[in-house]
Amino acid sequence: MAADAPDLPSLGDLLNRPAWHRRAACRGIGPSTFFPKRGGNGREARAICARCPVTEQCLSYAMADDDTVGMWAGTSSNERVHLSKRPPEILAV
Ligand code: SF4
């Protein structure tokens, strides 16, 4: 594997999705879309997440685990780190 290749989720990870994931807009889309290469902007993933009915659950799930990588709810790992540093009232929708 190339040094800059993203760590893709294992099959076990993919099969252990929470129940809300059954309504996810990303179902059936290859994981590489949500793990953009270094320097990538994740534009395709963001477009899919923008029309997803479970974005709120997805973001909560990703924010609950600091080790979650890749695009979740239209956010990158770095963006979620920044979000986690905001006061909770700013995150409320
Ligand atoms: S918000 Fe995006 S990553 Fe999360 S479940 Fe929906 S489509 Fe998938």
The tokens for 72 are 């979740």
The tokens for 64 are 């609950």
Ligand 1, from 20, 26, 65: best to mutate by most atoms within 8 Å of Cβ?
Answer: 26
In 3-92 the beta strands, taken as DSSP E runs, fall at none
Ligand 1 contact, 59 CB (< 6 A): no
Count of CA atoms in the C-beta half-sphere (13 A) of 51: 7
Going by C-beta distance under 8 Å and a sequence separation of 6 or more, which residues neighbour residue 82?
none
46 is a domain residue = yes
Number of domains comprising the chain: 1
Give 32 Cα–ligand 1 centroid separation in angstroms.
Answer: 13
4 is a domain residue = no
Range with the poorest average pLDDT among 5-9, 26-30, 62-66, 70-74: 5-9
Q: What is the pLDDT of residues 2-52, one digit of tens each?
A: 455 566 766 666 667 888 999 999 999 998 999 988 888 899 999 999 999
Q: Is the pLDDT reported for residue 66 higher than 70?
A: yes
Q: What is the mean pLDDT of residues 55-81?
A: 94
pLDDT value at residue 9: 66
pTM of the model: 0.78
56 is a domain residue = yes
Host domain of residue 86 = 20-91
Distance CA 34, CA 26 (A): 9
pLDDT value at residue 83: 92
Ligand 1, from 51, 55, 75: best to mutate by most atoms within 8 Å of Cβ?
Answer: 55
Ligand 1 contact, 48 CB (< 6 A): yes
Distances (CA, A) of 19 to 10, 54, 55, 79, 81: 18, 11, 13, 25, 25
pLDDT value at residue 28: 92
